[in-house]
Structure 1
Amino acid sequence: MVSLLSGEGAVSGSIPIMATAKFLLQVLDELSRDDLDRFKFYLQNSTEFESIARGLLENKTRVELVDLLQEHFAKQARDISRKILLKIPRRDLVTKMFGEGDTSDSEGRDPEKRKRGKPRDCGTAETASNLSENEMSTPKKNKVETKAVEDKTLMALAETMGHNWKQIGIQFLELKGYVIDQCELKEATVILQSFEMLKNWKNREKEGATALKLYSILANEKCPIGSEQLECLLEDTH
């Protein structure tokens, strides 16, 4: 891969804005639709940096998202993007785009030290052990985020939908009208009808039916459901 960190117009100690934009676009182009949904999720739900409002992220193309990243984070856009990729997790993409030594989620580390590796001293064994545990903890935690949403979570969500479940199913979950009709005929109460509708979505999406994906869909400001009603989905991602 040709590095975008060099070339004419580069200023010593800084990266040209255009080069950064091209680099970020290359990174986003490597993401699947689900990965991009997770990327946006962490942009609007973070304690490490100033989050971006959900309304600003809605329906943004990858090109528009690059502009938003640079406008919102300025020189930190690259580093924040790297951190989010580690949370998705896409460590393989971090290695590919940022380099072998850039898969640490720590801030303020000297790039040269990352290339050289850890110094050999009497504490090397202990340090290596700690690093191994830290590196292994991240993917284990993120495996929970990629599992299919649990039925009990869908039931908790169904209990809050009321008579809006039909609109949500057709307009936002993109279920067919006959599927909605079948849900209504199969169950007697609105809650069970809503749950059946959500189960149909889950069965259609298969392994892609994660709580995070469902959250990203229903968090649309036009969706007739409040953010407090979606909290059960966020709990299912932990």
Structure 2
Amino acid sequence: RETLLALQQALSEEQFQALKYLLEARLPLAQLRPATRPELCSLLLQRFPGRALHVTADLLRRISRHDLVRLYRLPGANEDVPEENGEAGGSPAPPSGCGEGGGCGAVPPPAASSPPPAPPRCLTERELMQVAQKLGKEWQETAIGCLELARSRLDQIREDNPGNVVMQSFEMLREWRRREKREATARRLHACLTNANVDPELLDLLRRFQEA
């Protein structure tokens, strides 16, 4: 219980509310929505005896708090290895020597080259949730017709999140991101959905993500 409470106290209010949102399909809403952090700890222990830390670890990953999973050594912590950014670049070669016996004029410094543009980043859990909220009930048609996801996987997602269209859509988008890996960017998702029958605000949202 102490670990669960410490984890929740480490979250910002926005992250705590996101955690509760992800639990809506798994806990009674009448108890979940008004729950304080200590009360949510009690709910998790009651509803998931022996598995509360496993459930919490999964939720923390879904709101991009892998650091807490590692810090508190939660189940699966060894799999949460932070990505190493940057590449070792070679040092520029020194200017070549002058010809034997010849005088050297002033050698102009090499022109400063601009750094290469950063590669597009993948969509975050929070951004996927915002997309899911705008995707609506047509998420399965979009998944099959535009994102080319397997129908069997979509059926499993629907069974795992009964009656919660937003969570079904969110899990579908996470499945797409797992498949696309480094290509799961806002630009790519926008390209996939451009000709789909989706809310125009969704396409505007993806354009804003590209500019962020």
Superposition TM-score, scaled by structure 1 size: 0.40
Structure in which a larger fraction of residues adopt helix: 1
